[in-house]
């Protein structure tokens, strides 16, 4: 087994180090491993597994949610969100800084992507906050942390991919992610309150929004109507048992088109951009899923998952310690690989170990999402850090320093999920998902 693992590791990291696409590297690694160590018709096996994975019914939701996000990316929905949220956020300690967290939480429910959530909310809130005299560091940090909610708030693209690869219900994953997402958002807001109370110079002493009457505040809620309509259309229909995730995604695309037409943002040039953007993103993700399925199949044929479980079992680690070791290992991998790649590369090996230790595969999926969120703001390749750097023009080191408190919150929250798994499992159980 040592020879097999060494060969797979050499091919995998060799391909990644010379710049071969992640999806192709995974597919090549799995195919070569089967060809070298197993007497099976690799060409037939690869084509069979590729067909089985790529025609999975639940995977159909992924390109539809991507199309929905691409449409909304090209509308004025982010500026409308800020207008609707700002009068209410100004009532809290920390004032408009909370618009980053609440705005990201809301937009995540119609995006499914952390980077898209960060970029769309940030391109409005960061300039507004700076013009009103808010500290730039805390503005960038709160956006970077809250932007990670794009992966945790359902519908999440990465949950769909995990569900397909781990062969668990995507709808159950969506339900499992909701309560952790709310708690994590509240943790971010609590830190903003503590930080701005401790250092009052981070926010302006006065804001004209605080002088608004309750009638004026209620009138501004009209700007939240489009996103509220879309959230109820997508999530409400799924949790109500009316439609499948794929059907809800299709309804979301129609709803996004209605919003774009209502805001008069629906032009042929923008539809062309939507098409190109969706095809590019879907092709990239499809290639990664294809490669991951090949590597996962190879790992199963070669008995890598069982061997890894036996190896870890020799150390007599408690289930808690096993997860803690995996958690630290994932954070270390995040220094070299982005979160999506970490999941598809490690899942075939790690998931059998975790389930053998008695952990729920749904719970582990949400745990991995938290890991990916950490990687999103973890230097040196945290993608959200680069998104914010692109918006602000600040040095990456400055963005990283501003994000550190929110990175610490994410790490502590990951540990909390290990200690209290019911944070994840409570809602699926209440909805009848066993």
Q: What is the pLDDT of residues 186-198, one digit of tens each?
A: 999 999 999 988 8
* Full residue range of the structural domain in which residue 77 is found: 58-430
Ordered DSSP codes for 348-410: HHHHHHHHHTT--HHHHHHHHHHHHHHHHTSTTT-HHHHHHHHHH---HHHHHHHHHHHHHHH
Examine the pLDDT at 47 and tell me if it is beyond 70.
Answer: yes
Structurally, the chain folds into a number of domains equal to 1
Model confidence pLDDT, tens digit, residues 335-371: 766 677 778 778 877 888 888 888 889 999 999 999 8
Q: Which of 231-240, 256-265, 281-290, 337-346 has the highest mean pLDDT?
A: 256-265
* pLDDT for position 367: 92
Examine the pLDDT at 275 and tell me if it is beyond 90.
Answer: no
* pLDDT for position 171: 86
* pLDDT for position 58: 66
Tokens of 358: 């008695």
Task: Tell me what the mean pLDDT of segment 270-287 comes to.
Answer: 83
What's the rounded Cα separation, in Å, for the pair 60 and 338? 24
User: Is 400 domain-assigned?
Assistant: yes
Question: To 10 degrees, the CA torsion angle through 400, 404, 407, 409?
Answer: -160
User: Is 40 domain-assigned?
Assistant: no
User: Is 283 domain-assigned?
Assistant: yes
**% of the chain at pLDDT higher than 70:** 93
Examine the pLDDT at 183 and tell me if it is beyond 90.
Answer: yes
What's the rounded Cα separation, in Å, for the pair 421 and 434? 14
Task: Tell me what the mean pLDDT of segment 168-181 comes to.
Answer: 90
The residue with tokens 């060809």 is: 35
User: Is 50 domain-assigned?
Assistant: no
The contacts of residue 299 (CB under 8 Å, 6+ apart) are 30, 305, 348, 349
Examine the pLDDT at 282 and tell me if it is beyond 60.
Answer: yes
User: Is 14 domain-assigned?
Assistant: no
Higher pLDDT, 84 or 73: 84
* pLDDT for position 387: 82
* pLDDT for position 394: 84
What's the rounded Cα separation, in Å, for the pair 301 and 321? 28
User: Is 319 domain-assigned?
Assistant: yes
* pLDDT for position 404: 92
Model confidence pLDDT, tens digit, residues 253-274: 888 888 888 878 778 888 888 8
User: Is 310 domain-assigned?
Assistant: yes
Examine the pLDDT at 56 and tell me if it is beyond 80.
Answer: no
Higher pLDDT, 40 or 149: 149
Instruction: Provide the whole-model pTM.
Output: 0.80
* pLDDT for position 187: 95
């Amino acid at each position: 087994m040592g020879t097999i693992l060494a060969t797979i590791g050499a091919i995998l990291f060799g391909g990644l180090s010379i710049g071969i696409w992640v999806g192709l590297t995974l597919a090549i690694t799995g195919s070569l491993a089967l060809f070298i160590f197993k007497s099976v018709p690799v060409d037939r096996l690869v084509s069979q597994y590729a067909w089985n994975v790529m025609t999975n019914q639940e995977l159909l939701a992924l390109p539809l949610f991507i199309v929905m996000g691409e449409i909304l990316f090209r509308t004025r929905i982010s500026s409308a969100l800020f207008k609707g949220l700002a009068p209410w956020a100004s009532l809290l300690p920390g004032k408009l800084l909370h618009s980053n967290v609440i705005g990201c939480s809301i937009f995540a429910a119609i995006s499914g992507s952390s980077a898209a959530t960060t970029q769309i909310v940030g391109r409005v809130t960061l300039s507004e906050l700076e013009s009103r005299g808010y500290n730039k560091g805390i503005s960038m940090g709160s956006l970077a942390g809250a932007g990670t909610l794009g992966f945790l708030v359902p519908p999440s693209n990465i949950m769909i991919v995990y569900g397909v690869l781990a062969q668990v219900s995507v709808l159950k994953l969506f339900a499992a992610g909701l309560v952790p997402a709310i708690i994590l958002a509240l943790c971010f807001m609590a830190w903003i309150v503590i930080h701005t109370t401790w250092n009052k110079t981070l926010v302006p002493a006065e804001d004209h929004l605080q002088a608004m009457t309750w009638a004026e505040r209620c009138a501004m809620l009209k700007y939240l109507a489009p996103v509220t309509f879309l959230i109820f259309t997508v999530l409400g229909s799924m949790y109500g048992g009316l439609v499948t995730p794929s059907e809800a995604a299709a309804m979301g695309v129609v709803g996004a088109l209605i919003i774009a037409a209502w805001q008069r943002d629906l032009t042929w040039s923008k539809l062309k951009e939507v098409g190109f953007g969706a095809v590019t993103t879907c092709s990239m993700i499809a290639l990664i899923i294809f490669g991951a399925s090949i590597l996962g199949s190879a790992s199963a044929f070669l008995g890598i998952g069982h061997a890894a479980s036996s190896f870890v079992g020799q150390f007599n680690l408690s289930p808690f310690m096993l997860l803690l070791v995996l958690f630290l290992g994932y954070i270390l991998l995040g220094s070299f690989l982005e979160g999506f790649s970490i999941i598809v590369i490690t899942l075939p090996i790690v998931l059998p170990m975790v389930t053998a230790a008695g952990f729920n595969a749904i719970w582990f999926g949400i745990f991995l999402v938290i890991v990916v969120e950490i990687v999103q703001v973890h230097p040196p390749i945290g993608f959200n850090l680069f998104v914010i750097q692109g918006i602000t023009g600040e040095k990456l080191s400055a963005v990283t320093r501003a994000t550190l408190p929110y990175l610490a919150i994410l790490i502590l929250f990951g540990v909390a999920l290990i200690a209290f798994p019911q944070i994840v499992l409570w809602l699926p159980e209440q909805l009848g998902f066993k």
